[in-house]
Every structure is written in structure tokens, then in C-alpha cells.
Amino acid sequence: MSKVLSDINFIKKYDLKLGELYQDAKNVYLDGPIQTLVELRSILELICIGIVDEYSLTPVKPTLSASINVISSTKTLAPFIIEKLNILRADTNKAAHKHNYELTPVEFSALALNSLKSFCELIEDLQVSEGKVTIPYVFDEKINSRFYELSYRAMFEEDNEAKFIVGMALVDKYRSQSGRDERPLERGIMLLEEAAFDKHPEAMFEYGYVLIHGTLRDKDFSKGVAYLYSACVAGLKKANTPYAEYTLERENPDEESIKYAISFLNLSVDEGNAHAQYVLSEAYRVGKHIERDDIKALALLKLSAEGGYALACFKYGMFLLENDNIEGEAYFENAVINGNKQAWLYCARIAAKQMGDVQKALKWYLGYLRLCPVDYDVMFEISEYAYSVSSSKIGLIEVALRILVQAVRDKNLPLELKVKANHLSKLWLPEYYKQLILGGSIENSENVFVNYSPDGTIIDCELKVNEVCRKITNNPSLRKRLIYTPKGINRLNSHKRAVITDSNKQKRNEPCNCKSGKKYKNCCA
């Protein structure tokens, strides 16, 4: 019986060098998932270069995408392997071009783990396609983290590569945790700053973004763009397009900066970079720094959309739909998949207007809210939409109420919107309770009502809610004094389905509204 290998030994058995690189990539996935994805992408490039060389293929451009395309077009590998290559390329791209995506640290961690597993499956498929005998393996989520070694090298050996990896991992992990202990984030930025000062290309690129966005540093757009330029000059290809984009967006860039920006942009376009194609398309469309050319602009926009750049997918999809081309829907779908905020919102509004699939509209709305958690206007738009289509669906009213609670508990919510949220809550809570009564699920209401004061206003802090729960647990008689309790509702025959009744309208000999099958006089009268 064959011995079951670990995933690392399984890859090493296939190819020792690839296995060592895979091991390095895997051993940072807990602390630096983005670094894992970046390193996995490099391994994919090596695999594709090996296949291209072995079969004497000629990619159109020296890129991973072009290599996969030529392998696909020549039917060198089976379609299902090509599909896995493309999925891994798309997923690892989210780390290689992370500033174009808006994934949370948790999402990057899940993506890194899933990509490691998918990579093992890819190697297994390649073995089968090569006619080799596959050996059973088990994926082990435990690792020997490289971060102990990297941290030592960063602190005591002044190793700029280690400073970059450790610093970037700290920044990626703690950047979104505003209001908490900022020391880990400060430490990460300091390591990036030191490596950038020593001309480490990746560190210069990332530190440029730190200055552009003002992350624990004074916001300095010009200095940040200068760091991006230095990264370009140092040969970091992924810096070309961001530098060009930021330069061309400036109010009055000098002629020399424009020249360099267009030059770097063309280099990336020639290599098939979808982001660069979009930026150059916009430059031709606007005609501010180069001569306007609508034909070139549209051609580049199409290329960018075909390359999967989310904003290009959205805009090209819009163009097609406006010209009655149904293919635009497919580009919209790609825009949503690739995380374009406008596409999520646009699709949600279209679905909401058509009054079709409510769940699909809510999925898109909530997807947009995940990408833009502080778009207060859209929060209220979603909440009011969910309530408007709720009818007798308790779950939709709960969605509407939950979003209002989420809004009020955001400390930055403007006062007028807080007033509006409380006004809507007071209107919707009685209807919610009515539907609970009709649905016979009154016992589930406590989890919702505990978020509201007796007058129906939202309790603006979870700590206060926890304190209220503690008091009610100790003394249930305090319930009406501490949380919302609906008034004017008859809870009759609690062992049956209760109903809201109006004795003037419900005649004694008619079937009871509670649908028990009995006459009203013998049931809820």
C-alpha cells in the first residue's frame, strides 16, 4: 500500500524545486496570506514557462495570461487543467494587484488557503496528464511559519526583503483595524519605510501607497507618486500603471511627468496588462494629455474588459447594453465577480427595478455594502428596499431592521440619518411584530427587540445591549422598562397561532382569522 504524503512532500516528489518554492509560499499563509498568493503566482509562471518551452510554443506576450492562452489554443493540456490554471491566475492576481481589489484580511486568508489546495490539485492533474502514477497525499493546514526567521532577519540582519515581507504582512493585517492598538501597524509601516529608503522596489511601491493614502503618515500625494516612479525605474513592472494613473489624474502634471507616464503605460499595455489598457483607454477618451481618439479608447476598453479588469468590464458592459447588445450582461457579471463596486450597485438597482428575483437584488446590494461599508445613502436604500418587498416575509423585514441597527452603531453616521433610522424603526417594528404573530414565530422576536429601547429607538452600542440582556436575565420583570415591547397587540391562545383581531370586523360565527378551522366565538373571541 502506498504511503500517504503531506502536500509539501507530494509537490517535492513531483518537482523538488517547485516543492521548495511551494513550501516557502505555504509557510507564510497564516501571517502573510497575500505574500503566499504572490509566491504561488510566481510558481504558476514557472510551470507555464516550462510547458511553453517543452512544446516550443510562442506566447503573444511574455505574461502568465498569454502563456495559458497559447497552451489552451494549442490543446497542449486538457480543458479542465486550463480552467484550473485560469482560476489560480485570477485568484493570485488579487494579491499581485491587491490595490485594485477590496478584499478583507479574512478574505485574503481564505483565498490563500483555498489556492494552496487548488495548486495541489493542479499538480495532481498535471501528473495524470503526463502519464505518471499519482501518490496519495493529505493537505496539512499546520505550518512551520517563516515569520520567526524573517522577523529575525529584519530586526538583526537589516535584510530589506525580510523587512518588506514582514512589514507588508503587518500592514495588510492591521490596516483595517482602526481604533485599536496601532503599534503593529506602525511597526509594519516603519519596516516598509526603511526598506523603501534602501531602494527595495516592492517596498518603494507599497510605501508610495502609504503616503498617497496617509496611513499613519502625513498624506503626501506628490512624495507618494515619486516613490511609485522610483519603483518603476527600479524595474518593478506592476508599478508602471499606478504611477501613470496617478500622474495623469493630477491637476497640472508637468510635461516630463506626462511623457514618463505614457511611456510606462505603453510598456504595460504592450505586455497585455488589463489595468494599463483601461488607463490608456481613459486617456484617449478624455484627450487631456494625448490626442483624443474614441476608436482607440473603445478598442482598449474592450481589451481591458476581456482581460477581466473590473472597472473596464463595468464600463464596456454599460456601452454594450446602451447599444442594445445583450452581451453586456456577461461583462457585468465579470465586473461583479471581480469586485467592481459600481457593478454590484448597478446590478442591484436593475434587479430591484424589475421586481424580479428579490434575493438576487439583495445579494448584490449586500455585496456592494461589503465593499463600501460606509456608504450611508446606500445602506438606507437597501433597508427601505428590503422593507418595501417584505410583504409577509419576516426575514426581509429583519434585513431592513438589521441594516438600520448597523448604521446607527457607526459612530460616523450623520445625525440626520440617525434620526431617520430611528423614525423608520418605530414605523417598521409594529409591522414586524404583526408578521411574527401571524407566522406563529413570536418566540424568535427577542433577539431583534433587544436592540431597541422601549420607545423603538435603536440602542446605539452593543455593550449597552449586553448590559440590558444581563439585567433582564437577572430580573425578567425589567423587560418592558429596558427593551421594545409592542403595544396594542393581542397575544391570544399562545398555544395556537395568535392573530391581530378587530372585534368590530370579525363576526362571531365566521371562521377565525387564526385559521384554526373553528368559528371565531369558539376560538379567539
The verdict on residue 451 lying in a domain is yes
The verdict on residue 283 lying in a domain is no
Does residue 426 contact residue 455 with C-beta atoms inside 8 Å? yes
The verdict on residue 80 lying in a domain is yes
Query: Which of 138, 163, 181 corresponds to the end of one domain?
Result: 138
pTM for this structure?
A: 0.67
Q: How many domains does the chain have?
A: 2
Kindly write down the DSSP assignment for every residue of 434-477, as one continuous string.
HHHHHHT-GGG-HHHHTTB-TTSPBP--HHHHHHHHHHHHH-GG
- Residue 135's region, left for phi above 0, alpha for psi from -120 to 50, else beta, is beta
- Other Cβ atoms within 10 Å of 21 Cβ, number: 17
Q: What is the pLDDT of residue 363?
A: 86
Query: Which of 123, 138, 153 corresponds to the end of one domain?
Result: 138
The verdict on residue 368 lying in a domain is no
The verdict on residue 83 lying in a domain is yes
Does residue 50 contact residue 68 with C-beta atoms inside 8 Å? no
The verdict on residue 284 lying in a domain is no
Regions of the chain short of the pLDDT cut 50: 1, 488-504
What is the 8-class DSSP label of residue 199? Answer: T
- Other Cβ atoms within 10 Å of 50 Cβ, number: 13
Indicate which CATH number applies to the domain containing 69: 1.20.120
Does residue 379 contact residue 409 with C-beta atoms inside 8 Å? no
What is the 8-class DSSP label of residue 506? Answer: S
What b/e readout covers 274-284, taking b as 16+ CB neighbours within 10 angstroms?
A: bbbbbbbbbbb
- Other Cβ atoms within 10 Å of 435 Cβ, number: 19
User: With 0-12 CB in 10 A as exposed, 13-18 as middle and 19+ as buried, what is 195?
Assistant: buried
Query: Which of 104, 138, 172 corresponds to the end of one domain?
Result: 138
Does residue 500 contact residue 489 with C-beta atoms inside 8 Å? yes
* Amino acid letter, residue 143: I
Biggest CA–CA distance in the chain, Å, is 91
Boundaries of domain holding 461: 446-489
Q: Which residue has the cell 423614525?
A: 423
The three cell numbers of residue 508 are 362571531
The verdict on residue 507 lying in a domain is no
The verdict on residue 56 lying in a domain is yes
Q: Which residue has the cell 518551452?
A: 53
Q: What is the pLDDT of residue 447?
A: 78
CA distance 49 to 269: 21
Q: Which residues contact 255 (CB under 8 A, 6 or more apart)?
A: none
